[in-house]
Amino acid sequence: MDNQAEFYQKLPKVELHAHLNGSVSSETIQKLLSRKPHLNIKHSMTAIGKGQRRTLDECFEVFKVIHKLVDTEEDILMVATDVIREFAADGVKYLELRSTPREEKETRLTKANYVETVIKAIQQCKEEDLDIDVRFLIAIDRRNGTDVAMETVKLAEQYMLSSEGLVVGLDLSGDPTVGHGKDLLPALQRAKNCGLKLSLHLSEVPSQLEETDLLLHLPPDRIGHGTFLHPEVGGSQSLVDKVVKNNIPLELCLTSNVKGQTVASYADHHFKYWYQLGHPTVICTDDKGVFCTDLSHEYQVAASTFGLSHEDMWRISNQAIDCIFATEAVKQQLKQKWNDLHPQVL
């Protein structure tokens, strides 16, 4: 490992935008492939390697392949524990994992089993004494429409109350070109009213301005991507003003956006716009397995692309603590951890 890579690995980090099934490493994929050789799935179908790019549509096909490989409680438990251990090994001290509860008739997996298995994985990792605090955001896949969204919110509500603080919020994700946010508004409003925190994928693709404007009225607690919010890329000043006025942090995933071709190059990434504005942004991975990255690498790429120093990157990771969905007490513990680690890292 060179000096730079070592610095970013040691830097304590917060990961707030990680889709469970997009985060599966090649090592775990290998284990899944050997469990299900009959599916005839190749490694190249589950990840987008160095220098490769795909359209966003093609990325969503990759998730479908991974879902075929992860369809039992046993698979989910292995995938979730592996992903948590990998984030811990990469220096992530606080992680919010998000995942869409799935029902699989063939393996008799129910959505409740799905959620409980992810919770079990988080609890198992706690017992291993890993230096990482993990929470769970239950995800709505927008392509499944109004009724499923409401059902997902009810499930999230139930587990928010029974998971001892592990389920903290709700994510809205899925193919941004499918469906319209207005159909999901009642479910999202209900989630907000019952105390679930909301992280919504907004303006991940162009031409979603009306939907974004509508959903910003909730308002969400964080925004995923927000690639096309600002006027320089066809967004609008009024959207930016709403985000700034409500101080809504943005979760930014550089490699994901470049490989998924919604952003032309690292230098063109909207990180620059929001960072220069002094608005809270959190560097995240999105799908570390599919996009073959890790959070240390994302920090290193942001620093080298935008000429930021180690001190700047420390500040960015420290400020991410303010954007987490866990309680104020957890924030204070993390701030303390960062203070303790400061002399060893910088």
Contact set with ligand 6MZ (CB under 6 A): 19-22, 59, 63, 99-100, 139, 141, 173-174, 201, 204, 256, 260, 286-287
- Residue closer to ligand 6MZ, measured from CB, 19 or 269: 19
- Residue closer to ligand 6MZ, measured from CB, 12 or 101: 101
Out of 86, 104, 204, 251, which one is annotated catalytic?
A: 204
Of the candidates 283, 277, 325, the residue with the CA atom closest to the CA atom of residue 169: 325
Catalytic status, residue 204: yes
- Residue closer to ligand 6MZ, measured from CB, 178 or 346: 178
* Burial (CB count <10 Å: 0-12, 13-18, 19+), residue 222: buried
Of the candidates 316, 271, 327, the residue with the CA atom closest to the CA atom of residue 11: 316
Task: Evaluate whether 47 touches 22 at the Cβ level (below 8 Å).
Answer: no
Q: Where are the beta strands (DSSP E) in the chain?
A: 13-19, 92-99, 133-141, 167-173, 197-202, 222-225, 250-252, 281-283
Mark out the alpha helices in 267-327 (DSSP H runs).
Answer: 271-277, 295-306, 310-320
Query: From CA 24, how far away is CA 81, in angstroms rounded?
Result: 10
Q: How far is the CB of 174 from ligand 6MZ (least distance, A)?
A: 4
Q: How far is the CB of 10 from ligand 6MZ (least distance, A)?
A: 28
- Residue closer to ligand 6MZ, measured from CB, 96 or 286: 286
Q: How far is the CB of 71 from ligand 6MZ (least distance, A)?
A: 11
Q: How far is the CB of 343 from ligand 6MZ (least distance, A)?
A: 37
DSSP SS3 for 93: strand
Find all residues with CB under 8 Å of 117, minimum gap 6, and list them. 73, 76, 77, 80
Structure tokens at 20: 């469970």
Q: How far is the CB of 290 from ligand 6MZ (least distance, A)?
A: 7
Of the candidates 172, 178, 187, the residue with the CA atom closest to the CA atom of residue 138: 172
Q: Where are the beta strands (DSSP E) in 2-52?
A: 13-19
- Residue closer to ligand 6MZ, measured from CB, 13 or 288: 288
As annotated, the active-site residues are 204
